[in-house]
Amino acid sequence: MKEKIKESAKKDCCVACGVETEYYDTTHIDARRFYIEGAGQLCKDCFEKIINEKRGKEEGRPTMRIVGIIGPYFSSGDRRSIDYNIANAQFIAIRIAEFFSDSKLIGFFCPHSHTARFEKLANAKEEYYHTLDDAIYDSACEIFVLLPGWEDSKGSVRDVKRAKERKRRFFLLKDYSVENIRFLLQGMERWARRKMEDERIELRNGGQ
Ligand SMILES: [Zn+2]
């Protein structure tokens, strides 16, 4: 009996490009991946292309998600404090780049190194940088890392309030120990993978 089913079952082809998929036409849709109800079975490539299109409404938009780094910049305002804060923030940006170098799941926006030393190099008002950071944080950053000492930084408290109003998620870094940085990176990776999976399920159910 089992043999008979196997003989008569054909493999489904991708409804977009026509390539043969790994699924037999007898396989229940709950047991399939890359299937969209109302459309049909897709191959992995076409499925991912559609996810990208749905997310970015434009072909080829990277699936990388951006984390915003929030932490003290000026502190007591002397050169040593400012350079210390820039170095710490940049260190976390570097660790993110290294950790996600292959998967490309997460990228970052680090205002500290983006406009490092601009308070000396450029002749622009401080408010200009606040507006610049807001614009990038708001449009690009889905999650935020809070660096040690953020509570004592007026600018950071302001950034956190703004991100909270926009229902963004936070990851808190308690200190710069190797363990806590690894913990932070792994937490962000889990978040990014879950997000990706959620989008697949949404797509399968035809949700928005
Ligand atoms: Zn295809």
- Per-residue pLDDT of 145-182, as tens digits, reads 999 999 999 999 999 999 999 999 999 999 999 999 99
Indicate the SS3 state at residue 108.
strand
Average the pLDDT over each of 5-14, 100-109, 110-119 and give the range with the smallest value: 5-14
Using a CB cutoff of 5 Å, list residues around ligand 1, an ion.
Answer: 14, 16-17, 43, 46
Report the pLDDT value the prediction gives residue 58, as an integer from 0 to 100. Answer: 52
Residue 37 pLDDT greater than 90, yes or no: no
Confidence tier at 73 by pLDDT (50, 70, 90): very high
Report the pLDDT value the prediction gives residue 124, as an integer from 0 to 100. Answer: 96
Please give the distance, rounded to the nearest whole angstrom, from the Cα atom of residue 40 to the centre of ligand 1: 11
Please give the distance, rounded to the nearest whole angstrom, from the Cα atom of residue 53 to the centre of ligand 1: 14
Residue 207 pLDDT greater than 70, yes or no: no
Report the pLDDT value the prediction gives residue 9, as an integer from 0 to 100. Answer: 80
Tens of pLDDT along 117-136? 998 999 999 999 999 999 99
Please give the distance, rounded to the nearest whole angstrom, from the Cα atom of residue 207 to the centre of ligand 1: 21
Q: Where does the chain show beta strands of DSSP type E?
A: 11-13, 20-24, 35-36, 40-41, 65-70, 106-109, 141-146, 169-172
Please give the distance, rounded to the nearest whole angstrom, from the Cα atom of residue 20 to the centre of ligand 1: 8
Round the average pLDDT of the chain to a whole number and report it: 89
Residue 6 pLDDT greater than 80, yes or no: no
CA–CA separation, 92 vs 97, rounded Å?
9
Please give the distance, rounded to the nearest whole angstrom, from the Cα atom of residue 191 to the centre of ligand 1: 28
Q: Which domains does the chain possess?
A: 2-57 (no CATH), 65-196 (3.40.50.10400)
Report the pLDDT value the prediction gives residue 51, as an integer from 0 to 100. Answer: 75
- Please give the DSSP secondary-structure letter assigned to residue 14: P
Please give the distance, rounded to the nearest whole angstrom, from the Cα atom of residue 25 to the centre of ligand 1: 16
Report the pLDDT value the prediction gives residue 206, as an integer from 0 to 100. Answer: 54
Please give the distance, rounded to the nearest whole angstrom, from the Cα atom of residue 68 to the centre of ligand 1: 35
CA–CA separation, 53 vs 32, rounded Å?
21
Residue 57 pLDDT greater than 90, yes or no: no
Please give the distance, rounded to the nearest whole angstrom, from the Cα atom of residue 193 to the centre of ligand 1: 23
